[in-house]
Amino acid sequence: MKLYFPIIIMLVGYIFGCFQSSYIIGRTFKKVDIRNLGNGNAGASNTVVSLGWKWGVIVGVLDIIKAIIPIFIIKYVFKNIMPYKSLSPYLYLNGFSVILGHNYPFYMGFKGGKGTASLIGMLMAIDYRIALIGILSIVLITLITDYIALGTISLVVLFVLSTAFFKHGTISIFIAGLIALLSIYNHLPNVKRILKNEEVRFRKTI
């Protein structure tokens, strides 16, 4: 693969990631900036808390889809050029770029979301086995602890371990590690609020 391909793959991912559904829906239908509500995060979980479950589910689905589409495009374009295992690091790179676009959209002053739904979409498009493990972990840990943030942290940790277990390669493991560290860093304020008993519990959003 030519040297400029990774740059194109990252650019495509970032552009898709910049489709900030929570911000667009908030502005269009509610006349609000989602970043001024709840915990200030432009993502599905804060949309649920601030605008309700209906809008939160719509945002979550759209954020999942925007990570799936570019990976499927890359799979289609390169399916006859290289074996899937060799393509895997580029798919991880694209998924990482979608998350960067979601978290740091240029037209929103680089203040977006935390990328959890987009990560799930990335996993669904790359390896359904990792996606199932991740979805089960976030659901179970969230239900057990009553905190979405802790469920998300379990998701990203298992994401790295599963990437290694299913042999997606050293580069993919490294990218998975970067995604996990970024997610954990972005959820540190949530952890601090949990320790202070100030974080909104999952069951209160139902």
Q: Which segment of 58-62, 75-79, 137-141 scores lowest on mean pLDDT?
A: 75-79
Report helix, strand or coil for 115. Answer: coil
Instruction: Retrieve residue 21's tokens.
Output: 């559904």
Report helix, strand or coil for 41. Answer: coil
What pLDDT does residue 206 have? 66
Q: In this structure, are residues 9 and 98 in contact, taking their beta carbons and an 8 Å threshold? A: no
pLDDT in tens, 147-183: 999 999 999 999 999 999 999 999 999 999 999 999 9
pLDDT in tens, 6-19: 999 999 999 999 99
Check residue 159 and give left, alpha or beta (phi > 0: left; psi -120 to 50: alpha). Answer: alpha
Q: Over pLDDT 70: what percentage of the chain?
A: 98
The total of structural domains in the chain comes to 1
Q: In this structure, are residues 129 and 37 in contact, taking their beta carbons and an 8 Å threshold? A: no
Nearest alpha carbon to residue 157 among 138, 139, 144, 129: 138
Could you tell me the pLDDT band of residue 201, with boundaries at 50, 70 and 90? confident
Give the Cβ contact number of residue 146 at 10 Å: 16
1: pLDDT strictly greater than 80: no
Q: Which long-range contacts (CB under 8 A, 24 or more apart) does 151-156 make?
A: 152/114, 152/116, 152/183, 152/187, 153/183, 153/184, 153/187, 153/191, 155/116, 155/119, 155/120, 156/119, 156/180, 156/183, 156/184
Check residue 198 and give left, alpha or beta (phi > 0: left; psi -120 to 50: alpha). Answer: alpha
91: pLDDT strictly greater than 90: yes
Residues 6+ apart with CB under 8 A from 156: 119, 179, 180, 183, 184
82: pLDDT strictly greater than 80: no
204: pLDDT strictly greater than 90: no
Domain membership of residue 94 as a residue range: 5-205
